[in-house]
């Protein structure tokens, strides 16, 4: 039997994966944040951000965001190994995540950008138990709440987004996740 040695858990997750044009085959927006993320390297508000406004150019912002660099450095080689995010940089960030019964908001400031996500139109909470796949290559367990109404602002500008039916974690592309765990 193999022991789990690479893991992360979170409380207060807000996850958005989107595109800004129907022509895009891959997401050019990812805002994947946790109010508190726990890892063997420590505990801190953390997540992942991708903002690539021009699909033909390098992303304007791409990396793991955290209030603690050691926690941010843990994600790439331990959770996201063998994915395009394995060698993503770690960006210092500030977070403000608020979740109520009918609305969730997240504000993340990093690398000269301010990302603001607001979610509502919630489904009933449901349990997830997803097996590893090519993406993502880790086990997932937790609670998700699908959000059907989502707005995104970047540097106070509302961004027109299209939310695909499935995000990078294999479930809906716009969810509030009160708690959960990734493990390899």
d(Cα 163, Cα 141) in Å, to the nearest integer?
A: 22
d(Cα 146, Cα 125) in Å, to the nearest integer?
A: 8
pTM above 0.85, yes or no: yes
For the record, the structure tokens of 82 come out as 């063998």
Residues in contact with 77: Cβ distance below 8 Å, sequence separation at least 6, in sequence order: 86
Q: Where are the domains of the chain?
A: 7-183
Give every residue of the chain whose pLDDT is below 50, as ranges. none
Given this model, what pLDDT does residue 1 score?
Answer: 53
């Amino acid at each position: 039997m193999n022991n789990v040695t690479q893991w992360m858990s979170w409380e207060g997750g807000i996850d958005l994966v989107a595109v800004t044009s129907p022509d895009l085959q891959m997401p050019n927006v990812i805002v994947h944040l946790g109010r508190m993320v726990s890892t063997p390297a420590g505990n801190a508000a953390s997540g992942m951000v991708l903002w690539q406004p021009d699909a033909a150019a390098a992303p304007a912002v791409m990396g793991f965001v955290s209030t603690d660099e050691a926690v941010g450095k843990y994600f790439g080689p331990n959770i996201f190994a063998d994915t395009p995010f394995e060698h993503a940089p770690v960006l210092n960030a500030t977070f403000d995540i608020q979740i109520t019964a009918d609305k969730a908001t997240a504000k993340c400031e990093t690398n000269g950008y301010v990302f603001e996500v607001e979610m509502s139109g919630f489904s009933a909470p449901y349990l997830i138990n997803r097996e590893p796949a090519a993406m993502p290559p880790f086990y997932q367990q937790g609670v998700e709440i699908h959000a059907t109404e989502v707005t995104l602002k970047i540097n106070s500008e509302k961004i027109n987004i299209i939310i695909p039916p499935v995000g990078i974690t294999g479930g809906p592309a716009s969810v509030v996740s009160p708690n959960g765990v990734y493990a390899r």
